[in-house]
């Protein structure tokens, strides 16, 4: 009996390690457009003899044309029922007319989880000529939306929260709302940029969604026992008339996690607040996670620049994977439960990983379906950097346990549609990806590597970066011939920078 139990624990630990940051470890980031105190407080006083600054040469992110989401929601926690009204004001940021709008309505993938009551134009005109394309709502426009023009739609809907652990769902412990409202996908000159979910052998692989930065105004009220609710979000709310008002600028998503039992650990670092929400049983691991996040922000701010967030929230997830959103990360309950108070533990591995997604996913976006390595390779290698700085004696342990014990192999630039399935995806994109980053650093040297990666992070803020952007920035930071390295790791290697 006892042996069985031990075996089960060992197996569970193994599963935890294997799961790590798994398929659904999405990297949807949040960033406020408001510089964090990090940048504002360190700004030197402007010398008075400086000529008056020329009108800012740095354009606003997205030229100030990001989508404006204005959402009201009323939550009945114990009945698992939500009513919501989402208004989205969209600007055509391309050079071409748009003939139909698309909304991704993720809750439609769960049976009976959403009922869309009505759709209106911003002026109140009812819209009925929409059609469904999988989990997307397609709305033909009577008049094409010309470049620079705006259009507004209002969706009224109800959510019946599915009884499931996951980033969208509700368990006895928590209600998680991710991708819960109609979301507009990125638009390129070629059209709407969306991808199907990857399901291989009944397992979701990676993240098919990615979004442009947008502004969110969210008003949240509870229709039952508001006083007992603890709400985790990627930004701090104001309270007004029994409502929580959230204003989040330049985020890709707006995610909430709510529970009537959360305990909260709080820290402040470099002008950013850390809030760690756990269940009472894991309160001490929640404190440890908050400390790890502090260390992570200190270190990665050096490597990647300011995080551009006022808040980073950690949530203990009542499910078995880890996931990043803007200003909010989920870390699996098992990782908290098995925290052993030492750095040789998954909490110390995964916290820096998920927090690094605040840079690579939230601040610097990427096409997570086709180029998931752009955030996951960097996030996984960021774990190594964390150990190198804080626990240098454990770097080889990290490589052995996290990477080399799991057959790192396969092309780093695999997509989430890899037919070989989740493990092959993880082994290539995450694990071999970490080896690529280390080999790249070894080849071009520390100075070039860290200058390069910081430049890449800064140059692509508020964008959806591509492999091309990655290699183009790299080529400006090294003259090494990287042909062999690229051919080893990439199915589609870039041309090596030669000069």
Cα–Cα distance measured from residue 464 to residue 210, given in angstroms and rounded to the nearest whole number: 9
At closest approach, how far in Å is the CB of 136 from Zn ion?
A: 25
Nearer to Zn ion by C-beta: 294 or 379?
A: 379
Q: What are phi and psi of 475, to 5 degrees?
A: -65, -20
Q: What are phi and psi of 98, to 5 degrees?
A: -115, 130
Identify the sign of the CA torsion 165, 167, 169, 174. Answer: positive
Nearer to Zn ion by C-beta: 17 or 34?
A: 17
At closest approach, how far in Å is the CB of 369 from Zn ion?
A: 14
At closest approach, how far in Å is the CB of 133 from Zn ion?
A: 29
Nearer to Zn ion by C-beta: 215 or 376?
A: 376
At closest approach, how far in Å is the CB of 436 from Zn ion?
A: 15
Cα–Cα distance measured from residue 462 to residue 212, given in angstroms and rounded to the nearest whole number: 8
Structure-block tokens of residue 73? 């929601």
- Judged by the rule CB under 5 A, the positions of this chain that interact with Zn ion are 21, 25, 376, 379
Nearer to Zn ion by C-beta: 282 or 324?
A: 324
At closest approach, how far in Å is the CB of 355 from Zn ion?
A: 10
Distance of CA 11 to the CA centre of its chain: 29
Nearer to Zn ion by C-beta: 25 or 212?
A: 25
3-state helix, strand, coil in the chain (%, to 5): 30, 30, 40
Query: Strand, helix or coil at 264?
Result: strand
Query: What is the DSSP-derived secondary structure letter of residue 458?
Result: H
At closest approach, how far in Å is the CB of 353 from Zn ion?
A: 6
Structure-block tokens of residue 7? 């075996």
Q: What are phi and psi of 434, to 5 degrees?
A: -65, -40
Nearer to Zn ion by C-beta: 185 or 372?
A: 372
Nearer to Zn ion by C-beta: 243 or 347?
A: 347
At closest approach, how far in Å is the CB of 98 from Zn ion?
A: 32
Query: C-alpha distances in angstroms, 228 versus 11, 16, 66, 177, 245?
Result: 36, 31, 35, 18, 18
At closest approach, how far in Å is the CB of 177 from Zn ion?
A: 20
**What residues does 54 pair with on adjacent strands?**
none
Residues 6 or more apart whose CB falls under 8 angstroms from that of 199 comprise: 205
Identify the sign of the CA torsion 443, 447, 449, 452. Answer: negative
Identify the sign of the CA torsion 334, 336, 339, 342. Answer: positive
At closest approach, how far in Å is the CB of 286 from Zn ion?
A: 20
Nearer to Zn ion by C-beta: 231 or 374?
A: 374
**Is residue 286 a contact partner of residue 311, using CB atoms and an 8 Å limit?**
no
Nearer to Zn ion by C-beta: 32 or 356?
A: 356
């Amino acid at each position: 009996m006892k042996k069985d139990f031990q075996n089960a624990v060992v197996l569970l630990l193994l599963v935890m390690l294997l799961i790590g940051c798994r398929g659904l470890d999405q990297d949807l980031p949040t960033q406020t457009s408001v510089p964090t105190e990090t940048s504002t407080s360190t700004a030197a006083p402007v010398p008075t003899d400086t000529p008056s600054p020329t009108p800012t040469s740095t354009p606003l992110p997205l030229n100030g044309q990001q989508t404006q989401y204005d959402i009201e929601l009323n939550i009945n926690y114990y009945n698992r029922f939500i009513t919501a009204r989402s208004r989205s004001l969209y600007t055509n940021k391309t050079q071409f007319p748009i003939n139909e709008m698309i909304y991704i309505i993720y809750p439609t993938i769960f049976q009976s989880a959403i009922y869309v009551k009505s759709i209106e134009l911003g002026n109140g005109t009812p819209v009925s000529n929409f059609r469904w394309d999988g989990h997307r709502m397609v709305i033909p426009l009577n008049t094409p939306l010309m470049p620079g023009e705006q259009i507004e739609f209002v969706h009224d809907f109800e959510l019946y929260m599915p009884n499931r652990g996951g980033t969208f769902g509700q368990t006895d412990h928590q209600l998680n709302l991710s991708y819960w409202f109609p979301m507009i996908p990125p638009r390129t000159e070629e059209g709407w940029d969306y991808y199907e979910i990857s399901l291989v052998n009944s397992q979701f692989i990676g993240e098919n969604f990615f979004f442009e930065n947008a502004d969110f105004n969210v008003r949240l009220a509870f229709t039952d026992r508001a006083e007992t609710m603890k709400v985790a979000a990627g930004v701090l709310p104001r309270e007004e008339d029994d409502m929580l008002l959230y204003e989040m600028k330049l985020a890709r998503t707006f995610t909430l996690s709510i529970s009537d039992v959360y305990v909260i650990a709080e820290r402040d670092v470099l002008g950013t607040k850390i809030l760690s929400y756990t269940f009472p049983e894991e309160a001490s691991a929640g404190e440890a996670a908050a400390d790890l996040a502090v260390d992570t922000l200190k270190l990665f701010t050096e490597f990647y620049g300011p995080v551009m967030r006022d808040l980073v929230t950690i949530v203990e997830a009542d499910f078995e994977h880890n996931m990043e959103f803007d200003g909010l990360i989920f870390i699996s309950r098992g990782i908290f439960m098995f925290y052993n108070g030492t750095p040789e533990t998954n909490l110390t591995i995964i916290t820096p990983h998920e927090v690094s997604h605040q840079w690579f996913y939230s601040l610097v976006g990427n096409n997570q379906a086709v180029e998931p390595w752009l955030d996951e390779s960097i996030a996984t290698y960021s774990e190594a950097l964390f150990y190198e700085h804080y626990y240098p004696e454990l770097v080889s342990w990290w490589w052995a346990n996290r990477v080399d014990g799991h057959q790192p192999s396969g092309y780093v630039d695999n997509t989430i549609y890899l037919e070989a399935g989740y493990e092959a995806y993880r082994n290539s994109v995450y694990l071999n990806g970490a080896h690529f980053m280390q080999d790249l650093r070894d080849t071009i040297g520390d100075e070039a590597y860290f200058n390069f990666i910081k430049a890449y992070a800064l140059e692509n803020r508020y964008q959806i970066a591509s492999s091309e952007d990655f290699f183009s920035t790299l080529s400006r930071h090294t003259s090494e011939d990287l042909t062999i390295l690229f051919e080893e790791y990439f199915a589609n290697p870039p041309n090596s920078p030669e000069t």
